[in-house]
Structure 1
């Protein structure tokens, strides 16, 4: 199994509490996920994120076919970080760290994703395409975040 790594850092001109309030709510994921992924949270909203929380989704990553995805919040320390890990879904391994750190300009948000694909040799063949899609998903996320909180504002 080959484990891939993706990392993105983004500066948010908002407070740590505002960042946590937005990114710590699974129902906001659809807002920052590209429409072409057909992403929908199917679990009921929870008042706050906690370790052990299970979140269910549907996604349409390939040919528009719906796929169930289940993640668990394995670690959570509000408002500093949370980690979600796939329990059921398209990856053999999915481990996503969401890290938030106060900086003079606002909040540094760091996403670190480790993932591996199923299907052995077929997964290795598809890995380039999957890396490209993950980069596109996070590029879209960056665009949305910059529209929500333009640089130069402080919220």
Structure 2
């Protein structure tokens, strides 16, 4: 089961960074390559604990849907979303935020399990883990760009 951990420094206060990361309307701008769009559940604003959102997106050339539940939230330091319906056998994304001076260290921990047993594990090693790391990197870089551009 792959676990991807990465972090980025964002020069905005922790409360603002936390809200940027859970802003449904902003999310498609952070991953434009997948054309993500909320189609059910929370479709705009700041997602909260216990709420769900269903995304339609294009990944690896295939249009997919994934429904995610915000399983827990400790504002402004952590929230966890888990897939309740989608292509993965399991998918958990932990979002952590640490105040560092006037900025924030945003940490993503993504743990997923592909379907199809040994074939899925092989796909993870051959391309999916690299794909998901790139996806998270693009999202983090764009959140940083957007957040810092809004700073006066």
The two structures have a TM-score, normalised by structure 2, of 0.87
Indicate whether 1:94 and 2:91 are aligned: yes
Distance in 2 of aligned mates of 1:78 and 1:146: 19
CA RMSD for the aligned pairs? 2.1
Indicate whether 1:131 and 2:129 are aligned: yes
Distance in 2 of aligned mates of 1:49 and 1:138: 19
1:7 counterpart residue number: 5
Deviations 1:44-71 (A, max 9, x none): 43554322101111122133x3211101
Provide the aligned length of Structure 1 versus Structure 2: 150
Distance in 2 of aligned mates of 1:148 and 1:48: 16
| CA apart distance, 1:154 | 6.2
1:72 counterpart residue number: 69
| CA apart distance, 1:150 | 5.2
Which of 22, 31, 42 is matched with 1:24 structurally? 22
1:142 counterpart residue number: 140
Deviations 1:3-45 (A, max 9, x none): 210011111110112112211212221111141x232122343
| CA apart distance, 1:79 | 1.2
- Match runs of 1:109-124 below 5 Å: 109-124=106-121
* Residues 24 and 46, structure 2, Cα contact 8 Å, conserved in 1: no
Q: Which runs of 5+ in 1 are unaligned?
A: none
The two structures have a TM-score, normalised by structure 1, of 0.86
Q: Which runs of 5+ in 2 are unaligned?
A: none
| CA apart distance, 1:104 | 1.4
| CA apart distance, 1:125 | 1.8
| CA apart distance, 1:105 | 4.5
Distance in 2 of aligned mates of 1:28 and 1:98: 16
Q: Which runs of 4+ in 1 moved over 4 A?
A: none
| CA apart distance, 1:74 | 0.3
